[in-house]
Chain A
């Protein structure tokens, strides 16, 4: 599955990193970055959690 991140919306809450450290990181200003935009089934829960808690609604999980 594909993960989409709209970094210009990000408010640097870092909650995506807490939810899915394998998929998200932060740059020097705390803005979210994607470590990978393709995730296997084992990471789907974490990404869904990240999308749900992201205060800026900047994360989307796109099913094929």
Chain B
């Protein structure tokens, strides 16, 4: 009888939970409580997606790392069983090599790895520092309160990607306007398409210029691959567009969401404000990445051969979802995982994923966040929310988690 009642409360005999699950309204920085419960029960469980399909959800760190590093686990969205994200995104086509498997994935990816080498990224640090300082100068000179997303979190990665790609400063306005439309939730598919085509046309023309007159930037190194006969002009443009789209919304949300979280943890914020140790700031960035996990819908894959893991067999043709936000809160790996502790060693988090598809832009993202977290709160020590936390609109519905806007004052 008790079983029947409990079953009825969850929709009859149906015990497969739906994914994604809602977060607790009062804990916007924590994973959904239902995910936590599933993790406590075991490393693998079936979930139901919007389209009725039932892929495996992998909840623990060890199993996620193992599967993300397994060549029998495919990132190809056309494979049988691949768990599709949501209906509005279906049919948008493939985003270059991130939706391919090796060896084609590796061949294309290696064409754009050079600018993300650690020393190349370090060489960009002074330019990023100048951009951050300039945006803060503008904020301090303007009216308060201000929306931190609009004034700081979004412009920064946009300006930095311009620097990296080699987009002329004079073209920033066109470039930013269109990227803003592309990632805006209220934009219609037509508006997004038009913005995307306009940037693609712009990037295609710029690739053409770099073909004729190469410089020390990413567009030039992509253009070299055309000259070498490895890709055509269209593929080069798609690659440039991927670099832009992938690096944009992610870093912007980490800046704004990270600030929102730090303002709720004044003791931790004080550690950042008072430290001038780059090693501490770098470590704090990793802890914020571990704690916040803006890629909250998980890494999705299709299994191409039977895989035995954690006492289960995942069959060929089944889908798997690795949700990093719960893996990064795995108590087997991170002690007291739900506590934001900037002094802990969080380097092994998988916020950037793991395996051959791990985020290519992570050295850039880390460096940008180090400059931001190491500068913003020192320059504006009285920074605070200009509304109640309950009134901040979190991106529960978006592909990348974060805040739609963050009103702040000082």
Q: Chain A residues in contact with chain B, CB under 8 A?
A: 11-15, 17-19, 26, 28-31, 49, 52-53, 55-57
Contacts and interface: CB of A to CB of B under 8 A. Distances in A.
Nearest to A13: B358
B109 A29 contact: no
Contact of B363 (A14, A49, A56): A14
The listed residue with most B CB atoms (<10 A of its CB), out of A29, A31, A53, A55, is: A55
A30 B113 contact: yes
Contacts of B356: 11, 55-56
Nearest to B358: A55
Interface in B350-366: 353-356, 358, 360, 362-363
B348 to A, nearest CB: 6
A14 B119 CA distance: 9
B234 interface: no
A26 B69 CA distance: 22
10 contacts: A11-B106, A11-B356, A13-B360, A14-B363, A26-B117, A29-B113, A29-B114, A31-B110, A31-B113, A55-B353
Contacts of B358: 11, 13, 55
Given A13-B358, A56-B355, A18 B118 contact: yes
A12 B110 contact: yes
A17 B355 CA distance: 17
A18 B353 CA distance: 17
Interface in B87-116: 106, 109-110, 113-114, 116
Nearest to A28: B114
B116 A14 contact: yes
A30 B114 contact: yes
B347 interface: yes
Contacts, number: 56
Closest 10 CB pairs of A and B: A12-B113, A55-B358, A30-B113, A30-B117, A14-B118, A26-B117, A17-B118, A29-B114, A55-B354, A14-B363
A26 B109 contact: no
B110 A29 contact: yes
Given A12-B360, A49-B347, A53-B347, 20 more contacts: A11-B113, A13-B358, A13-B363, A14-B116, A14-B118, A14-B121, A14-B363, A15-B362, A17-B118, A28-B114, A29-B114, A31-B110, A31-B113, A52-B348, A53-B348, A55-B69, A55-B354, A56-B69, A56-B355, A57-B69
Given A14-B363, A31-B113, A55 B119 contact: no
A26 B354 contact: no
A18 B356 CA distance: 18
Contacts of A19: 347
A15 to B, nearest CB: 8
A28 to B, nearest CB: 6
Interface string B119-138: 11100000000000000000
A49 B362 CA distance: 17
A6 to B, nearest CB: 13
A61 to B, nearest CB: 16
The listed residue with most B CB atoms (<10 A of its CB), out of A12, A31, A53, is: A12
Given A13-B363, A31-B113, A55-B354, A26 B348 contact: no
B119 to A, nearest CB: 7
A54 B117 CA distance: 14
A57 B116 CA distance: 19
B122 to A, nearest CB: 10
B109 A13 contact: no
A26 B119 contact: yes
A55 B106 CA distance: 14
Given A30-B116, A30-B117, A13 B362 contact: yes
Given A13-B362, A13-B363, A55-B354, A26 B118 contact: yes
A46 B363 CA distance: 18
Contacts of A55: 69, 353-356, 358
B355 A12 contact: no
Contacts of B354: 55
A55 B363 CA distance: 13
Contacts of B106: 11
Interface string B4-37: 0000000000000000000000000000000000
B113 to A, nearest CB: 4
A15 B120 CA distance: 14
